[in-house]
Amino acid sequence: MLKLILEAFISISGITAASGIVYHDNQLHIVSDNSNYIYSYHLTDQKLSKTVLQQSHSMENIAKADKMDLESITFDGNRYYLYGSGSTPKRKSRFTWDGKTITQEDYSQVYSFLMDEFNISGEDFNIEGVVHLHDKILFFNRGNGPKGINAILEYHPLARDKSRCIPMELPKLNGIPTGFSDAILVGSEIYFIATAEDAKSTYLDGEIGGSILGKLPSDLTAKPETFEIPEKHKFEGITLKEKTAQGLVFLLCEDTDSEDNDLTIYSLKISN
């Protein structure tokens, strides 16, 4: 049984609705689901910078109907990849950032393939976490649509016929179902977070019931182990900060569903 300790790590002014986070080289790179920027916070200098994703749409606090809904950022050691949720036609972009140059791709064909191949309707399709693993991409679909489809969609870009859908049963918190909100690869294991939100919609927000941490093997051959995270937070991003003799230390970011301009990053220490 894992022991989980949650603590406030740092507060950053200038970011709302954080939905994904990567820690690398003493910097935090953060995406917000209502912004057209990627934010970078240098922990030593305590300075925030931002890089515009679309030169023609340099906006923050974008209205729900118009936002790109960037829900995930992942890092492969060379480049950062930012993914839209795919829950509306405006939310189907992928951005690639090498630290200098931004490239935007229309990812609607990939999302359409996944929906068609695995019989997932537009109302149930909502990508909240992405993991790049060798020659495949794992998309974590959040089950906050009508059918509650929590699933990992294993996509093989060079061999689509190998793609598969792995449904995942996740527990309830305070009577509210949980749904995937992010994931990260650590060695041969995947750690993920899932939130309990009382709203059967990929579009609307609802009452928060808390979040869980889960882990499963990266080959997806076993059912996930899950553990309740202390306190009631809507955690939407997870990244590994460090490995210690006692265990792992993750950093988490949350979407408070408010216009508060101060973002609190939390540390989550886990040990046996």
> Taking Cα atoms as reference points, which of 54, 45, 47 lies closest to residue 14?
47
The pLDDT-based confidence of 136 (bands split at 50, 70, 90) is very high
- Structure tokens belonging to residue 194: 């899932």
- pLDDT tops 50 at residue 48: yes
Domains present along the chain, CATH in parentheses:
3-271 (2.120.10.100)
**For the segment 183-228, what is each residue's pLDDT rounded down to a tens digit?**
999 999 999 999 998 765 444 455 778 999 999 999 999 999 999 9
> Position 221: which residue type?
T
In this prediction, residues 29-51 reach a mean pLDDT of 94
Question: Lowest mean pLDDT: which of 13-27, 34-48, 91-105, 195-209?
Answer: 195-209
The pLDDT-based confidence of 158 (bands split at 50, 70, 90) is very high
The pLDDT-based confidence of 238 (bands split at 50, 70, 90) is very high
On the 0-12 / 13-18 / 19+ scale of CB atoms within 10 A, 13 is exposed
CA–CA dist 105, 267 (Å, integer): 33
In this prediction, residues 108-126 reach a mean pLDDT of 97
Residues of the chain with pLDDT > 70, as a percent, come to: 93
